[in-house]
Structure 1
């Protein structure tokens, strides 16, 4: 009978974690990307060009890039859940302040601080999932977290754009900030207390040995090896070749994804389309496609293989970007939908591969993954803005296609067919 009760307990834990992290992902990405749909209004209000307006996103993603490693070390010391709660509450408060600022430099500074506060959720969430759940459920839970990200990104952009059409972009951002406070509250209340990882400040040799023994019996994915210092785990995360293959994916793929949505609004509001902000914001409803493909990708990765799914997603992104080079508006929207679906196929796969490959340096590897994720956002968000100013949408689309091809080449060169096998060959095992 005890053997029969364990799956029920695991199922309950799985659903609680998915629900809580869905809310956290919603709050994080709604705050982060709500500004994207009002970039043309910000350009007009402050009299700046698209690449300068896009700094409102780049500063936030730069803050996240700066913050992920410190938050990861803090989580190792003070506990994953405690750190994520502090991060979520801090970001929600800053998000309420930002719309009241009336100069672009102040907004950029606030967005930087907001990004620093937000950084713990993307830095720690997948590591927390891997600590608390069996390996067979990690990718599915990561897919649910990414679904929360996609719905948050969708509604953040959509609501900000629709409200700004009638009441101004400041009220649009404020409306999203209030929703994020609600989502943050749900996360803080619902997230389960951690059981799969003991913070280093509480870890003694006796407690560690007992926890490790229990973990080996009950979980396929082990907690970080206590005998390794945080610096040793960080060094391992930097020197495992297969991990560099996973790090390259968010740098290039998320950089291309952010750029497409940052400058698509400018493209569609210009001639020959001349769409309004509200109508342009409706294009972001294609995010719903990403919500389904993220869950599908997470659920079938074990059957079809992580690397094969990654190639599939990249191929969809390339095809979608190519369709946006055509003239008919309906075909452009179809291309954006295909591109979005492809990106959300790749996202849970690469984040799960990072955790599976990293083994004992999982926390540090996940933080580095998130670091390059947001560095790619910051770098390409600005760089392709300059490309847009010089070569219009065709330059952006061709740049995105090139980035996707490079990501596929790196995956073919560095990523293993079986992610778990790479962990067994990592320096920790030698």
Structure 2
């Protein structure tokens, strides 16, 4: 498929909706952490486990789910994953304790593991190579819309009726997205079933981990998400406290900033065309770092501008790195994408937990410090990639 061709719009919209449902569910408790802390009598770092559990579950199960998609098909696995995730979403509002909530969130994350790697593998097989970055950018844009809408909806609903009703409403939205996804997504035409034998899976995974470029891309995805996970896990606490003291509904609306991520992810293809992959990664890292520094100000305008830059830089960098993984892997694409997603969501779990701990110990400056260290890592790895490319060119 290619832009303007048969089925492309249906495919793009279906995967966009899948991205919306995935991010809305995966981070459904993130904007509600102050309310969860108050209701269940737990600290910020303890409440952050409701986010870390879902992303950690996804990180652990994304490779096994990718293996299932190699055997049973991308569309089948994505459909089953969404079905289980939305069922769990309707149970989450009834969690009576933090432990129960964390367990349900971990199960939900494990179910959602079937989406990211299978979606990028589906695109790599069904979309023409020149349109791949743009197509993956649209899927990532769906992630940003899901993350935004989930937080905005839960913020305002929770302000009136509490966090339990808020996450229940999000579950209903996810059900609608899941049904529309299954109806719209075209049947794959270029899928070839692979093997479920552990030995075959191990060799494929080992081959990907032995590729220096893929290793760098995995690390970059993890570091970008460390920044993003830390910032958006903690920002609700910062904005509900002094000197801001914002109500929950307004805090939820702050996540409208995700619209910037929708634009930057969709523009990733053009950025790579103009700057090259490494140039686009430098730009994403620099934009993220500038946003982190700006967010240190006590002015709400500076904080919002900082969030805009952090979000734009993150989504651009993520779209560039994830599409590069799909283009680099010539076989076992689902496993290559799964390894990227696993690293990416490990970064989210680390960022949400460490970012909350840093906030508890040193305030917002502590969270920003963790983010800046991660950006330095992105830039350093990209520099190493540039040097490796120059050495390879000289040898040729």
**TM-score category, normalised to shorter length:** over 0.9
Give the superposition deviation at 1:417: 9.2
Number of residue pairs matched by the alignment: 390
The residue number in structure 1 matching 2:175 is 181
The residue number in structure 2 matching 1:337 is 308
* Structure 1 residues 204-250: Cα deviation after superposition (integer angstroms, max 9, x where no partner): xxxxxxxxxxxxxxxxxxxxxxxx94332221111001111100112
Find 2:265's aligned residue among 294, 314, 330. 294
Whether the 8 Å CA contact 1:269–1:277 is kept in 2: the answer is yes
Find 2:143's aligned residue among 134, 141, 149. 149
Partner of 1:260: helix, strand, or coil?
A: helix
Whether the 8 Å CA contact 2:229–2:349 is kept in 1: the answer is no
The residue number in structure 2 matching 1:257 is 228
Whether the 8 Å CA contact 2:243–2:298 is kept in 1: the answer is no
Give the Cα–Cα distance (whole angstroms) in 1 for the partners of residues 195 and 42 of structure 2.
48
Whether the 8 Å CA contact 1:142–1:352 is kept in 2: the answer is yes
Partner of 1:12: helix, strand, or coil?
A: coil
Find 2:383's aligned residue among 412, 420, 429. 412
Closer, same or farther: CA 409–7 of 1 in aligned 2, 3 Å: closer
Whether the 8 Å CA contact 2:159–2:249 is kept in 1: the answer is yes
The residue number in structure 1 matching 2:320 is 349
* Structure 1 residues 51-106: Cα deviation after superposition (integer angstroms, max 9, x where no partner): 10010000001110111010011111111111111101111111111111221111
Moved more, 22-31 or 232-241: 232-241
Find 1:309's aligned residue among 258, 276, 280. 280
The residue number in structure 2 matching 1:166 is 160
2:57 is aligned with 1:66: no
Find 1:131's aligned residue among 125, 128, 132. 125
The residue number in structure 2 matching 1:39 is 33
Closer, same or farther: CA 38–415 of 1 in aligned 2, 3 Å: farther
Closer, same or farther: CA 416–93 of 1 in aligned 2, 3 Å: farther
The residue number in structure 2 matching 1:57 is 51
2:76 is aligned with 1:82: yes
Give the Cα–Cα distance (whole angstroms) in 1 for the partners of residues 319 and 185 of structure 2.
20
Give the Cα–Cα distance (whole angstroms) in 2 for the partners of residues 73 and 346 of structure 1.
26
2:371 is aligned with 1:377: no
Give the superposition deviation at 1:7: 6.5
Q: CA RMSD in A?
A: 2.0
Whether the 8 Å CA contact 1:68–1:120 is kept in 2: the answer is yes
Closer, same or farther: CA 15–299 of 1 in aligned 2, 3 Å: farther
Closer, same or farther: CA 130–366 of 1 in aligned 2, 3 Å: same
Moved more, 156-165 or 354-363: 354-363
Moved more, 188-197 or 153-162: 188-197
Give the superposition deviation at 1:272: 1.2
The residue number in structure 2 matching 1:233 is 204
Give the Cα–Cα distance (whole angstroms) in 2 for the partners of residues 248 and 7 of structure 1.
30
2:370 is aligned with 1:399: yes
Give the superposition deviation at 1:415: 6.1
Give the Cα–Cα distance (whole angstroms) in 1 for the partners of residues 281 and 114 of structure 2.
25
Give the Cα–Cα distance (whole angstroms) in 1 for the partners of residues 94 and 183 of structure 2.
28
Give the superposition deviation at 1:327: 1.4
The residue number in structure 2 matching 1:285 is 256
2:243 is aligned with 1:272: yes
Which has the higher Rg, Structure 1 or Structure 2? 1
Find 1:318's aligned residue among 289, 292, 298. 289
Partner of 2:121: helix, strand, or coil?
A: helix
Partner of 1:66: helix, strand, or coil?
A: helix
The residue number in structure 1 matching 2:185 is 191
Give the Cα–Cα distance (whole angstroms) in 2 for the partners of residues 196 and 230 of structure 1.
20
Closer, same or farther: CA 416–88 of 1 in aligned 2, 3 Å: farther
Closer, same or farther: CA 417–297 of 1 in aligned 2, 3 Å: farther
Give the Cα–Cα distance (whole angstroms) in 1 for the partners of residues 314 and 347 of structure 2.
14
* Structure 1 residues 294-317: Cα deviation after superposition (integer angstroms, max 9, x where no partner): 111134423431211111011100
* Structure 1 residues 333-382: Cα deviation after superposition (integer angstroms, max 9, x where no partner): 01111111111111110000111112223221111101111111112211
